[in-house]
Chains A and B, each alone.
Chain A
Amino acid sequence: GALVYQYPRRTICKSGTSMRMECQAVGFQATSVAWYRQSPQKTFELIALSTVNSAIKYEQNFTQEKFPISHPNLSFSSMTVLNAYLEDRGLYLCGARDPGHSDYTFGSGTRLLVI
C-alpha cells in the first residue's frame, strides 16, 4: 500500500536555529507533495505545494526564504524551518500524491517544539 513516513517524529530546537524535516513516500510515486502546519489550537494550514519538475508554490504567509523545500525525486521531499521562533511550533504534516489518485496520503507528522 501507499505509505508516507516523516522524520523525525518529534524535535526540539532553540529559538533562532533551523530544523530540517523529511518526508518519504513508499509504494507510490509522489509527484506532488503538500506541506501543512498545524499550530496549537488551529487547523492545518497549507505551507506549499511541490510538484516534481515544476516550481514550488507557496501559500500566502509562507515563503521560500523561511520554509525552503526540496523535492528531488518521486519518493522524497524535505522542508527546513529556518530561524525558528515560538510561532513556528506545531505539527508539520507532509502529504504525497501520485498522478493516478485524487487524494493525498499523509504521514504522521513532525512535531516541532521551539524553546
Chain B
Amino acid sequence: GEQVEQRPPHLSVREGDSAVIICTYTDPNSYYFFWYKQEPGAGLQLLMKVFSSTEINEGQGFTVLLNKKDKQLSLNLTAAHPGDSAVYFCAVSEASGGNYKPTFGKGTSLVVHP
C-alpha cells in the first residue's frame, strides 16, 4: 500500500524566515494531496488540497509544490510567524476504488520563534 515519508520531524525557524516540509510517497496512482495543520489539543485543519494535475499551488503565506516525477510534495511557508507554530501533516490518497482514504505522513513539528 501507499507509504508516505515526511521530513523533517522537527523544524525551528525565526520569524520572517521560510520553512520547508517535504513528503515523498510511493504509489504512482496517487491523485490527491493534502496539507493539514494541527494546533495543540486540536484536530486537523485543511490548509490545501492539490490535484495531481497542478504542480504549483499558492495559498495565503505558503506554496505547495507537487513533483510527480520524484513523487514529492512540499509545503513552503514564506515569512513564517509565531502563529504558524503547529504540527503539519501531509496526506496522499488515490482515486481508484472510490474510497479516497488518505494516508498520512508522520508530521512535522514547526516552531517559529519571535
Residues of A within 8 A of B (CB): 6, 32, 34, 36, 42-44, 46, 49, 51, 91, 93, 95, 97, 102-109, 111
Nearest residue (CB) in B for A36 is B104
**How far apart are A106's CB and chain B's nearest CB, in angstroms?**
5
- Main secondary structure, interface of A, reads strand
A102 adjacent to B100 (CB under 8 Å): yes
Most chain B beta-carbon contacts within 10 A, residue among A36, A43, A107: A43
Q: CB distance A91 to B43 under 8 Å?
A: yes
Binding site for A on B (CB under 8 A): 31-32, 34, 36, 41-44, 46, 49, 89, 93, 95, 99-107
- B43 and A42 within 8 A (CB): no
- Known A-B contacts A43-B89, A43-B107; the reply to A106 vs B101 at CB < 8 A is no
Q: Which of the listed residues A32, A44, A109, A111 has the most CB atoms from chain B within 10 Å of its own CB?
A: A44
- Write the chain A residue with the least CB distance to B105: A43
Chain A residues closer than 8 Å to B105, beta-carbon distance: 43
**Is A51 in contact with B99, judged by CB distance below 8 angstroms?**
yes
Instruction: Enumerate chain B residues within 8 angstroms of A91, measured Cβ to Cβ.
Output: 43
Nearest B residue to A34 via CB reads B101
A102–B93 CB distance below 8 A: yes
CB neighbours of A95 from chain B (8 A):
102
The reply to whether A109 and B101 form a contact with Cβ atoms under 8 Å apart is no
C-alpha gap A6/B43 in the complex (Å)? 10
